[in-house]
Amino acid sequence: MDPETTDALPGYSASLRAFHRAFHRELRRAVAAVPLPPGSRVLDVPCGDGFYTAALARRLYPFGSVTAADHSDAYLDAARERLGRQGRTADIAVVKADAYRLPFRDGEFDVAWCARSLISLDDPVAALKEMRRVVRPGGLVAVLEDDEFHRMQVNVPVALELDVLRAVADAARERYGSRAGLSPARQVFRHLLDAGLRLEVRKTFAADRHAPFDPAVRRYLRAHLKETRDLIADRLPPAALAALDRQSDPRDEGSPFRRPDAELTCLTTLFLARK
């Protein structure tokens, strides 16, 4: 749990950036669903490249403040770079911090925001307890999460979807010791209870897209299919792997990149919990 100083962005950073670009409208809607009275003091932890810090700080302008915290130097540099390009925002501070030992006083914030990071934290309850500590009594911890089984629903053949889901569950069990290891959203309620927080709002944001997909969605879909393949290639029967490769090939007429009836839904869930 010690803070790791990382000099390079993690392997998933390009796919995460593509996700932000593809679904920024729905992600901003999730940010807009957090109650933020003027003057609110918000902590974004872990902030990654500052995508949500920027959205929160634009929302709060002209009053209030957002503190972006992460333990990765590379991500903090990326956040500073992004946040330096924003126009009108509330005050922003970027701080190197370990999510398990935040360098902030008890009750220093009104809201702690934590997006799509519980999978990166090997003790999510400890991290949520630390977020609870730094928000004031009556303040909020806001968690945005998804579930590998539901995040991207694409109208590929049903048989392939079933093979892929089973292989993802097996890969999750091997990597995380549990089939739910890649399903942080379905564990958030339990984690919030264990951290002493009271769930008030659970709201899912659906991004619906249909062919022809715009370039940002195409880019994310390619990244998603590649990540899925990397995770499960050695677990799929050869015919299913060949089918997945056809779906991932933008030149293949049967892939969602070319099919005129291709459609996808991307689900992300916001949990608002009260201290």
Ligand X SMILES: C[S@@+](CC[C@H](N)C(=O)[O-])C[C@H]1O[C@@H](n2cnc3c(N)ncnc32)[C@H](O)[C@@H]1O
Residues that bind ligand X (CB under 6 A): 3, 16, 46-48, 51-52, 70-72, 75, 98-100, 115-117, 120-121
Cα–Cα dist 43/117, whole Å: 14
Cα–Cα dist 95/189, whole Å: 28
Closer residue to ligand X in complex, CB, 101/190: 101
**Token pair belonging to 247:** 């779906």
Question: In whole angstroms, how close is the CB of 75 to ligand X at the nearest point?
Answer: 4
Find out whether 259 and 207 touch, Cβ atoms under 8 Å: no
Question: In whole angstroms, how close is the CB of 142 to ligand X at the nearest point?
Answer: 11
Question: In whole angstroms, how close is the CB of 16 to ligand X at the nearest point?
Answer: 5
Closer residue to ligand X in complex, CB, 116/262: 116
Angle, vertex CA 186, rays to CA 185 and CA 192, nearest 5: 80
Find out whether 160 and 244 touch, Cβ atoms under 8 Å: yes
CA torsion 95-67-271-87 (nearest 10°) is -120
Closer residue to ligand X in complex, CB, 16/225: 16
Question: In whole angstroms, how close is the CB of 133 to ligand X at the nearest point?
Answer: 15
Question: In whole angstroms, how close is the CB of 116 to ligand X at the nearest point?
Answer: 4
* C-beta nearest to ligand X: residue: 48
Closer residue to ligand X in complex, CB, 117/255: 117
Q: Is 202 left (phi over 0), alpha (psi -120 to 50) or beta?
A: beta
The backbone torsions φ and ψ at residue 263, rounded to the nearest 5 degrees and listed phi first, read -150, 155
Closer residue to ligand X in complex, CB, 72/248: 72
Question: In whole angstroms, how close is the CB of 135 to ligand X at the nearest point?
Answer: 17
Burial (CB < 10 A; 0-12, 13-18, 19+), residue 168, is buried
SS3 108: coil
Closer residue to ligand X in complex, CB, 182/240: 182
